[in-house]
Amino acid sequence: MNFFDPSGWANGQAFEAARHAQREGPVRWMPGADVLAVLGHAEALEVLSDSERFTSRRGTGLAEAGTTGRSLNLDDPPRSLELRRLLQTVMDQPETSESRALLVQSANDAVSRARVRGDADALNDLAAPVARASFGRLFGLEADELTLLCHLTEGLARSGRARLVQPRADDELRSFLRAGLAERRTGAFWDVGRSAMERGLTTEDAMFLLRLVVQTGHESTAQAIAGAIHAALEHQLPFDSSPHALEEWLRWTSPLIRFARVATRPTTVGAFEVAEGARLVVIFPVVNRDPAVFTSPETIDLQRAPNAHLAFGWGPHACAGARLAKQQLAAVLDALRAVDRPSLSAPPVRLESGVTNGFVRVPLRFG
Ligand code: HEM
């Protein structure tokens, strides 16, 4: 079984196969894919921390990225850090009582609407609207811009069923970003793109940065929220939003499946010899169940501490939106705790994707 097969993640076989391989060793050749799968926690830390030995410049997916320009995620420090700092001027805005109130309100509104309907979907009715609204507010996007950007990038992220729509979504997204930069639209989102160009990025590279921001900015969070709701109901656990519980929901859901690095020289990872040019793919859902680090990894322990999960990655490319994602997850769990507990009304439909570990829908019933 190829761990990168999208249908394997939808039916659970890829996860099981990767767990099985983990028992045989923390770094394994992936037959048929010509890459090394990194399955151990210590080995994942080693690969993600050391950008001199393991570069992002040659792509963080399964194949060569083919980028020659400047990028945040497909570049290494120190260059990547300049763009990261640019983004952090938006991401690190302190939470104000107003932004907190708006987040709480959007979570409460989503839960109220779902309760009125009775039947609801944890992903599309609860998680996604909250994730989109708070991403849109943070980046100062107009409602129509937000709707279009989320629609197009959701098509790309949910890549299983998006195989057909992907080229069209990609073209539309590019034209929209190009036009937005040219028209000098206002708001933090467009400011990031323009500031990147003032620092020497080409329009193409600035568009790539904005695309990264939208692609990462709402879908993974929506999947984490839906995954936590599903896990709480399936395992009969409270909608706990305490700091330890949030980390455990993230460990358990691990919404992103993989990111890769390429070895810049002959080296070792753990005891495994790695040739120059080898592609190492970290498989987060499995790394986050490594029994060498997590006691009873197959149990959701909402008090687990320490909890060294890598759901947000690690090192110079660790997730820039982790704080925002946790705030949103907490807001939805709080809103659900305040009402009568819903139940799972049908089996969830899992997403066919080799990148996003999540759902197409999670049917719920209130009342
Ligand atoms: C639960 C939700 C999320 C998860 C699980 C997640 C996970 C990740 C992971 C694993 C990486 C590492 C990529 C690598 O190593 O190459 C990453 C990077 C990134 N994430 Fe997230 N993310 C989430 C939410 C967000 C949000 C809400 C935003 C922004 C609004 C965001 C923005 C980014 C950006 C910009 C990067 C690239 C950072 C860099 O290359 O330096 N993420 N994320």
Alpha-carbon distance values, 193 to 116, 139, 205 (Å): 40, 11, 9
> Per CATH, is 6-48+79-365 categorized as 3.40.50.1100?
no
Listed as ranges, residues in the chain with pLDDT below 50 are 160-164
Quick: pLDDT tens for 314-354: 999 999 999 999 999 999 999 999 999 999 999 999 999 99
Q: Which atom of ligand 1 is nearest to the CA of 224?
A: 1
DSSP H or E stretch at residue 29? strand 27-30
pLDDT (0 to 100) of residue 157: 58
- Res 166: pLDDT: 66
The whole-number pLDDT of residue 160 equals 46
Output the pLDDT for position 65. Answer: 81
Residue 31, pLDDT score: 72
What is the CA(170)–ligand 1 centre distance, in A? 20
- 216 Cα to the center of ligand 1, angstroms: 6
Which atom of ligand 1 is nearest to 138's Cα? 30
Query: What is the maximum alpha-carbon separation in the chain?
Result: 60
C-alpha angle with apex 25: 19 to 30, nearest 5 degrees? Answer: 70
Nearest to 332 by CA among 109, 74, 144, 3: 109
pLDDT digits 0-9 by tens, 278-293 = 999 999 999 999 999 9
Give the integer Cα–Cα distance in Å for 105 and 332.
Answer: 10
321 CA from centroid of ligand 1 (Å): 6
Atom 31 (ligand 1): residue with closest C-alpha? 321
Q: Provide the residue type at 29 as one letter.
A: W
pLDDT value at residue 161:
44
Residue to mutate (ligand 1; options 138, 319, 359; most atoms within 8 A of CB): 319
- What pLDDT is attached to residue 155? 63
For atom 19 of ligand 1, which residue has the closest CA? 319
Q: Which atom of ligand 1 is nearest to the CA of 282?
A: 15
